[in-house]
């Protein structure tokens, strides 16, 4: 199954600030990556947009109760553009089923894991 976490999903979910502001988390490559990247962009002052994190969340925990799945088929054209065929059934995209703030909090909490 291929599931797409679209721009409209990840652009609203800002992650990383609670992690880099937590002094108790040490030796975390995730924290290090956020600590380096967040200050590099004015647009990240409230956290980084999080498409990858939503995709990982769904891959590990499943889409429910956070998202609904809409079926179809993503078609990539020769020029690199793409479109969605809603009559297809090979792919899915995520649609919010909970507040993006709830998902944001969950992802930030999960990233607070202290590596051993």
List, for residues 65-99, the tens digit of each pLDDT value. Answer: 999 999 999 999 999 999 999 998 999 999 999 99
69: domain range? 2-111
Q: Is residue 35 part of a domain?
A: yes
Q: Is residue 116 part of a domain?
A: no
99, burial (CB in 10 Å: exposed 0-12, middle 13-18, buried 19+): exposed
Question: Tokens 């944001």 sit at which residue?
Answer: 104
How many folded domains does the chain comprise?
1
Strand 48-49 to 14-15 pairing:
antiparallel
| Predicted confidence (pLDDT) per residue in 3-48, tens digit | 999 999 999 999 999 999 999 998 899 999 999 999 999 999 999 9
Pairwise CA distance, residues 15 & 116, whole Å: 22
Partners of 75 in the beta sheet? Answer: 83
């Amino acid at each position: 199954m291929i599931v797409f976490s679209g721009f409209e999903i990840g652009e609203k979910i800002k992650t990383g600030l609670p992690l880099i502001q937590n002094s108790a988390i040490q030796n975390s490559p995730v924290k290090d990556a956020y600590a380096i990247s967040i200050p590099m962009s004015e647009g990240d002052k409230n956290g980084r947009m999080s498409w990858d994190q939503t995709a990982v969340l769904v891959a590990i925990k499943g889409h429910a109760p956070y998202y609904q799945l809409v079926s179809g088929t993503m078609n990539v054209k020769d020029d690199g553009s793409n479109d969605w065929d809603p009559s297809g059934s090979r792919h899915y995209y995520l649609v919010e089923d909970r507040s993006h703030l709830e998902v944001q909090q969950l992802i930030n909490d999960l990233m607070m894991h202290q590596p051993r």
